[in-house]
């Protein structure tokens, strides 16, 4: 172990390459989470509804993140290990199922690639330190939440709440922020969007966002501290507004149709993770000039 520790510490290129590889592998698992977790929640809700109506749900095959084995949605043929190598299998198969030649959604290699590149960048940015481990964990959660929210407009508690507690756990030793700042960040992050939600609802009678957004911002506050919340909210609001206007003008998106806000919060959180201190410092310098 000591030899591996010295190798990782003294050979940055090896550490970055290992981080890239780890990101690709975990990205492959994130695709499973993105596909299965919403279905698992839907099955759980159906079972709860059946129980409330006094019905006995028929026994079904186990369906979770590990069971059943991954298979092609078109031909139901199980995917072998050789056909499940991150990025490489997609390229060798030409983006098609090896058995029925059905198209493999581009989302799968993209999630793997983004996970790998962001993990490699975290290794470059933070070096061989606990901050890199924390940054990778935050990246994986935010990536899964982003794609799930885009697909289903859900930010599951199964991801947002563990993310919040993990942020507080990492900041017990002040990895990203002092623990008091992290606790205040979790509280302020939740209350900030909670206040916007109820203000909008009282004025318009409509719901402007979901409770998952409150919990995601609370989690980001727990990871990065309350000082980063204004920057995250500003960045996510600007990008969200720009994308929303573009969708209405160029894609025929209806104004009343909901647009998920989670991906923009996640993007603002990642920017704050890597460049938040520099952006805040430069902004304060501008105010004093």
- Strand ranges, E, within 99-220: none
Alpha-carbon distances of 75 from 89, 97, 100, 102, 105, rounded to whole Å? 18, 9, 6, 8, 15
Mean pLDDT of 125-137: 96
- The per-residue pLDDT for range 187-240, each reduced to its tens digit, is 999 999 999 888 888 888 777 778 899 999 999 999 999 999 999 999 998 887
**DSSP at 67:** S
Contact, 57 vs 51, CB < 8 A?
yes
Report CA 208 to chain centroid distance, whole Å.
21
Task: Report which secondary-structure segment, H or E, holds 180.
Answer: helix 179-204
- The per-residue pLDDT for range 159-193, each reduced to its tens digit, is 999 999 999 999 999 999 999 999 999 999 999 99
Using CA atoms of 96, 100, 103, 109 in order, give the dihedral in degrees to the nearest 10.
Answer: -40
Task: Encode burial over 206-240: b for 16+ CB neighbours within 10 A, e otherwise.
Answer: eebbbebbbbbbbbbbbbbbbbbbebbbebbeebb
- The per-residue pLDDT for range 1-59, each reduced to its tens digit, is 677 778 778 889 999 999 999 999 999 999 999 999 999 999 888 888 877 877 765 55
Single out the residue of 259, 184, 260 nearest to residue 220, CA to CA. 184
Whole-model pTM?
A: 0.92
């Amino acid at each position: 172990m000591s030899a591996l520790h010295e190798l990782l510490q003294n050979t940055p290129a090896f550490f970055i390459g290992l981080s890239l590889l780890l990101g690709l592998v975990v990205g492959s698992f994130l695709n499973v989470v993105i596909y299965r977790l919403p279905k698992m929640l839907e099955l759980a809700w159906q079972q709860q509804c059946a129980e409330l109506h006094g019905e006995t749900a028929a026994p079904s095959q186990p369906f979770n993140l590990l069971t059943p084995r991954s298979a092609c949605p078109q031909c139901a043929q199980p995917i072998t290990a050789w056909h499940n190598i991150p990025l490489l299998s997609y390229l060798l198969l030409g983006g098609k199922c090896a058995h029925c030649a059905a198209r493999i959604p581009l989302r799968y290699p993209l999630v793997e690639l983004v996970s790998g590149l962001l993990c490699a960048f975290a290794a470059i940015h933070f070096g061989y330190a606990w901050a890199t481990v924390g940054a990778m964990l935050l990246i994986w959660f935010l990536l899964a939440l982003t794609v799930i929210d885009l697909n289903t407009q859900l930010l599951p508690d199964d991801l947002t709440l563990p993310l919040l507690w993990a942020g507080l756990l990492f900041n017990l030793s002040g990895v990203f922020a002092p623990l008091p700042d992290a606790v205040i960040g979790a509280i302020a992050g939740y209350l900030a969007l909670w206040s916007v939600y109820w203000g909008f609802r009282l004025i318009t009678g409509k719901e402007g966002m979901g409770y998952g957004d409150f919990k995601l911002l609370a989690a980001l506050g727990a990871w990065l501290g309350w000082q980063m919340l204004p920057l995250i909210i500003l960045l996510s609001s600007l990008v969200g507004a720009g994308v929303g206007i573009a969708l209405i003008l160029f894609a025929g998106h209806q104004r009343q149709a909901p647009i998920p806000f989670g991906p923009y919060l996640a993007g603002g959180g990642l920017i704050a993770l890597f460049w938040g201190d520099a952006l805040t410092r430069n902004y304060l310098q501008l105010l004093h000039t």
